[in-house]
């Protein structure tokens, strides 16, 4: 059996939160021989990656898309374990089914060539031109991922490497000084495809007309590496990592809310948990960086410029148990708004949701049959939403629910409301309260400028020694792959 290399007097590390980044950091730090304790306010690991049931329907509560499984597999491999003994997943042929109001329906295959062929058939768009677009975003990924995603942008050695200097010489090729939308208009032109690729701005909660074109690399994560589905649902990702971490010797303390990070001479020396002081040589916060400062570091000066940056968008989610099967829907589905720019303008400028929002539907029982009764489906219905700034979410959610049902009835030619036998609604306010994500922002700060990546909080504190950060609110950003990498960057710093 594989054992970590334990020193005679291993350094003690306290991790606040067992979100996906905290789990990643805990495993990596334990493998380095450190004594690791994780303090989690909830009774389960995973943060937003949790699950619940409504009647006979099971739902994954948070993220529903799984890409780049290599970052999960890496944790098992480095631990000397066989991934399949803990965690199983399958590759999905279809990344998403897209619906437009003009009755266009496009099945976007995970494989780029198959996607291009389908776009040629449905949209009469040259497959070769779409493949040129995929080559372009692959090139962005190949030259930028190791810098912007896998290393700290706040350490000088990142910028002094030959690899970084080579990438910087090609920076104009990455559309950094164009918006995602502008770059897609130039490189694609076809309205359906422009809207399809613009929507990847939502993967980090940004506005496609403001976010830099370099973020068009995001669809490469989905189509270049593939789309996957964890057997047992998304909750199996944190469950399997929690099991691995425990076997390695990481100590988890659930229902243990951290009250304070203990400081001495501008140095983190431990945490206070339910009023009890626990000493540690290093402290890692997987809590939203805003609340880390506002709740746990009350006597320390906060980096106000970073904390007051524009936050990412949030989500309004309807969990519906549907008494019918829809053969024309897949695992992932998008029903597009006809007023796409207005939708994002409303979110970021007005703090509201328009009356014709884009609707995302995830139906996990398409692949995990036990998630719903026979002949039924579990619908995770999500609408892009503004972050929480004291809006009346009861009024907004009921208004948006009517708009969503009207859109579903129109595009799917159905009457959906009588089919809803179970319902739960999660608003941005609820997301903030349940996950302590400031304003319910799903991805920390928005990326609505060319320099947003450089403005994220680093994975360390520049003013408090021995204090580190990981998770979606710090570098490199939100989403499962980036959160896993955040844990990796932080562990390598320690």
CA-to-CA separations, 67 to 204, 218, 234, 314, 490, in angstroms, rounded? 14, 11, 11, 20, 21
What's the pLDDT score for residue 6? Answer: 45
Whether 166 has a pLDDT exceeding 70, the answer reads no
The predicted structure's pLDDT at residue 144: 75
Measure Cα distances from 133 to 110, 127, 197, 491 in Å: 15, 10, 11, 35
> Is residue 435 predicted with pLDDT exceeding 70?
yes
What pLDDT does 477 receive? 86
Q: In percent, how much of the chain has pLDDT > 90? A: 85
Proportion of the chain above pLDDT 70, given as a percent: 92
- pLDDT tens digits for 58-115? 999 999 999 999 999 999 999 999 999 999 999 999 999 999 999 999 999 999 999 9
Predicted local distance difference test score (pLDDT) of residue 148: 66
| Partners of 357 in beta bridges | none
Highest mean pLDDT among 1-5, 174-178, 300-304: 300-304
pLDDT value of position 1 = 41
- pLDDT per residue as tens digits for the range 171-211: 667 787 899 999 999 999 999 999 999 999 999 999 999 99
Q: Read off the pTM.
A: 0.93
Find the mean pLDDT for residues 328-348. Answer: 98
Q: Where are the alpha helices (DSSP H) in 199-339?
A: 218-223, 236-248, 289-291, 304-307
Please give the residue that has the higher pLDDT: either 147 or 361: 361
Task: Tell me how far CA of residue 155 lies from CA of 147, 217, 421, 460, in angstroms.
Answer: 11, 23, 53, 10
Q: Is the pLDDT of residue 7 over 90?
A: no
Residue 158 has pLDDT above 80, yes or no: no
Q: Binning pLDDT at 50, 70 and 90, where does residue 449 land?
A: confident
Q: For position 307, what pLDDT does the model report?
A: 92
Q: Kindly indicate the confidence band of residue 441, based on its pLDDT and cuts at 50, 70 and 90.
A: very high
Distance from chain centroid for Cα 452: 17
Q: Which of 132-146, 235-249, 407-421, 443-457 has the lowest mean pLDDT?
A: 443-457
Question: Over the chain, what is the mean pLDDT?
Answer: 92
Residue 163 has pLDDT above 80, yes or no: no
Q: What CATH architecture is 12-49+233-309+446-493? A: 3-Layer(bba) Sandwich (3.50)
- Quick check: helix, strand or coil at residue 217? helix
pLDDT of residue 171: 61
With bands split at pLDDT 50, 70 and 90, how would you rate the model's confidence at 2? very low
For residues 316 and 175, what is the distance between their CA atoms, to the nearest angstrom? 31
Instruction: State the number of CA atoms in the 13 A half-sphere of 184 facing the CB.
Output: 25
pLDDT of residue 151: 56
Over the stretch 314-335, which tens digit does the pLDDT of each residue have? 999 999 999 999 999 999 999 9
- Enumerate the domain spans of the chain: 12-49+233-309+446-493
Give dist(CA 202, CA 214) in Å, integer: 14
pLDDT in tens, 243-277: 999 999 999 999 999 999 999 999 999 999 999 99
According to the model, what pLDDT value does residue 169 have? 58
Higher pLDDT, 158 or 318: 318
pLDDT band at 455 (very low <50, low <70, confident <90, very high): confident
Distances (CA, A) of 271 to 32, 33, 36, 71, 422: 22, 21, 13, 29, 41
């Amino acid at each position: 059996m594989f054992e970590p290399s334990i020193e005679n007097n291993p350094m003690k590390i306290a991790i606040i939160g067992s979100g996906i980044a905290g789990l990643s950091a805990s495993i990596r730090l334990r493998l380095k021989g450190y004594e690791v304790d994780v303090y989690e306010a909830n009774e389960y690991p995973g943060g937003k990656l949790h699950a619940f049931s409504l009647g006979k329907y099971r739902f994954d509560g948070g993220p529903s898309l799984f890409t780049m499984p290599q970052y999960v597999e890496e944790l098992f491999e480095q631990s000397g374990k066989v991934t399949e003994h803990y965690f199983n997943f399958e590759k999905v042929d279809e990344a998403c089914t897209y619906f437009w109001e003009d009755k266009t329906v496009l099945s976007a295959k995970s494989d780029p060539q198959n996607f291009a062929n389908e776009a040629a058939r449905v949209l009469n768009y040259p497959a070769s031109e779409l493949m040129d677009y995929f080559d372009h975003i692959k090139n962005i990924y190949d030259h930028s991922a190791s810098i912007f995603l896998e290393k700290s942008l706040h350490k000088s050695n990142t910028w002094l490497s030959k690899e970084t200097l080579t990438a910087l010489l090609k920076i104009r090729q990455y559309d950094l000084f164009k918006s995602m939308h502008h770059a897609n208009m130039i490189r694609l032109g076809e309205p359906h495809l422009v809207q399809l690729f613009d929507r990847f701005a939502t993967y980090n909660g940004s506005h496609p007309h403001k976010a830099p074109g370099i973020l068009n690399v995001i669809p490469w994560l989905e189509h270049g590496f593939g789309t996957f589905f964890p057997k047992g649902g998304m909750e199996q990702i944190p469950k399997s990592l929690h099991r691995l971490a425990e076997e390695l010797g990481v100590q988890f303390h659930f229902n243990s809310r951290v009250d304070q990070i203990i400081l001495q001479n501008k140095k983190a020396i431990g945490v206070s948990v339910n009023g009890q002081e626990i000493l540690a040589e290093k402290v890692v916060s997987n809590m939203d960086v805003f609340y880390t400062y506002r709740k746990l570091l009350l006597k320390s000066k906060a980096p106000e410029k970073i904390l007051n940056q524009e936050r990412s968008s949030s989500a309004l989610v309807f969990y519906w148990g549907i008494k019918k099967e829809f053969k024309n829907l897949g695992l992932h589905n998008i029903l597009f708004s006809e007023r796409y720019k207005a939708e994002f303008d409303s979110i970021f400028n007005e703090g509201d949701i328009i009356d014709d929002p884009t609707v995302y539907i995830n139906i996990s029982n398409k692949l995990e049959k036990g998630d719903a009764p026979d002949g039924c489906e579990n619908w995770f219905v999500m609408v892009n939403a503004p972050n929480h700034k004291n809006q009346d979410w009861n009024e907004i959610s009921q208004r948006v629910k009517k708009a969503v049902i009207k859109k579903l009835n129109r595009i799917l030619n159905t009457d959906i409301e009588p089919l809803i036998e179970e319902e739960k609604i999660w608003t941005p306010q609820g997301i903030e309260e349940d996950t302590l994500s400031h304003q319910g922002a799903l991805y920390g700060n928005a990326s609505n400028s060319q320099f947003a990546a450089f403005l994220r909080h680093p994975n360390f504190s520049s003013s408090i020694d021995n204090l580190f950060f990981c998770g979606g609110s710090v570098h490199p950003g939100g989403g499962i792959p980036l959160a896993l990498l955040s844990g990796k960057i932080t562990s390598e710093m320690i």
